[in-house]
Copies of this chain bind each other. A is one copy, B any other.
Amino acid sequence: MPHKLIRMQRVRPEPPSRRPIMIAIAGDSAAGKTTLTKGIAEPLGPSRVTTICVDDYHRYDRQERKGLPFTALHPDCNHIAIMEQHLQLLATGQPILKPVYDHDTGQLTRPELMEPREFVIVEGLLPLHSRLMRACFDITVYLDPPEDIRRRWKLRRDTQKRGYDVEQVRAELEAREPESAAFIRPQRGFADVVARFSPVVGRDDPPGTPLSAELMLRPTIRHPDLHGILAERDQRAIHLRLCRDEDGLPVDALHIHGYVPREESRMVEKALWAQLGVDAGYPAETLGALGNGDRSEPLAITQLLLLYHLLAAVE
């Protein structure tokens, strides 16, 4: 009899010829990952998208973590080797039996079968943690809101939706800070796109003004020729600026202003969509939705750009 490795190779079915396009959306807790993801997944439709949250790969449940010297942000608190394995399986078109962490109860529950569809969106705290994980993606995104804004978002979400009180969330933010610095924020350096939603620095906009967005577009992937597209238009709503990244390397910074009247942004969005040359209708309904019924044009434009990358990668 041939050796089992040879036999396995012989009877293994051919790998699927079409491999999914994989995008990572990394960022700290309450950085806006789920909101960004929703607006990318919905225009593509559920039959084309598989969404995975790698926070499901927690090694310990909430009760067990209480006795441990680290928080859920620490790689040792997560099944990193299994995350790597599952991302490779998805990237090569194979199904996985994904673990499930229930954020409401803090418990690990029965795993679920996930089949990779045409696009796989992987969001979570640590999707860009290791070299092997990063190697599995076609596009990588890091959400980088200013800390004061992220803390506000986390306070609101965890008290309203996850049953914590304000003091508990504050204590958790405190406990997590060293691990945020050590493990979450370094992932920023590995993202093709870094998105920061915040008020424009130096402006004194009235309260309630929608946040603006700054997108660092690193030349690690081929971005659309926004310079060409934007040059023809009024650049009040959106403009591109060549600058140096934190590491000194050249990067395009795309600024999308939240204080611009909505109609103006929408026109830019539609023109952008049309000129991106993607063969699909403009997904007006789902882009930019903030979950509370509000809409953010800077978020819509960010999602638009990521959708462009996903659709362009297929063609």
Binding site for B on A (CB under 8 A): 1, 4-5, 7-8, 10-13, 19, 22, 59, 61, 79, 81-82, 85, 88-89, 91-92, 94-97, 99, 107-111, 113, 131-132, 134-138, 220-221
Identical subunits present: 2
Question: Complex: how many Å from CA A79 to CA B94?
Answer: 13
- Ordered by A's residue number, 24 sampled pairs between the chains whose C-beta atoms are within 8 Å are A1-B220, A1-B221, A4-B22, A4-B91, A4-B135, A4-B136, A4-B137, A8-B88, A8-B91, A8-B132, A8-B135, A10-B135, A11-B135, A12-B88, A12-B132, A13-B132, A61-B110, A82-B113, A85-B94, A85-B95, A97-B99, A99-B110, A107-B110, A108-B111
Question: Complex: how many Å from CA A135 to CA B5?
Answer: 8
Tell me if A7 and B111 are in contact (CB < 8 A).
no
Question: Complex: how many Å from CA A184 to CA B4?
Answer: 23
Inter-chain contacts of A111 with B (CB < 8 A): 97, 99, 108, 111
Q: Closest residue of chain B to A99, judged by CB?
A: B111
Question: Complex: how many Å from CA A132 to CA B97?
Answer: 18
Tell me if A95 and B81 are in contact (CB < 8 A).
yes
Inter-chain contacts of A108 with B (CB < 8 A): 110-111
Inter-chain contacts of A85 with B (CB < 8 A): 89, 94-95
Q: Closest residue of chain B to A58, judged by CB?
A: B110
Inter-chain contacts of A97 with B (CB < 8 A): 79, 82, 97, 99, 111
Shortest CB distance A191–B (Å): 13
- Of the candidates B81, B82, B135, which one forms a contact with A7 in the assembled complex, judged by CB atoms under 8 Å apart? B135
Inter-chain contacts of A109 with B (CB < 8 A): 109-110
Shortest CB distance A120–B (Å): 11
Tell me if A91 and B5 are in contact (CB < 8 A).
yes
Shortest CB distance A221–B (Å): 7
Question: Complex: how many Å from CA A161 to CA B134?
Answer: 48
Question: Complex: how many Å from CA A113 to CA B86?
Answer: 13
Q: A4-B91, A12-B135 are in contact. List 19 more A-B contacts (CB 8 A).
A: A4-B22, A4-B135, A5-B19, A7-B134, A8-B136, A12-B88, A82-B96, A82-B97, A85-B89, A85-B94, A97-B97, A97-B99, A97-B111, A99-B110, A99-B111, A108-B110, A109-B109, A110-B110, A111-B111
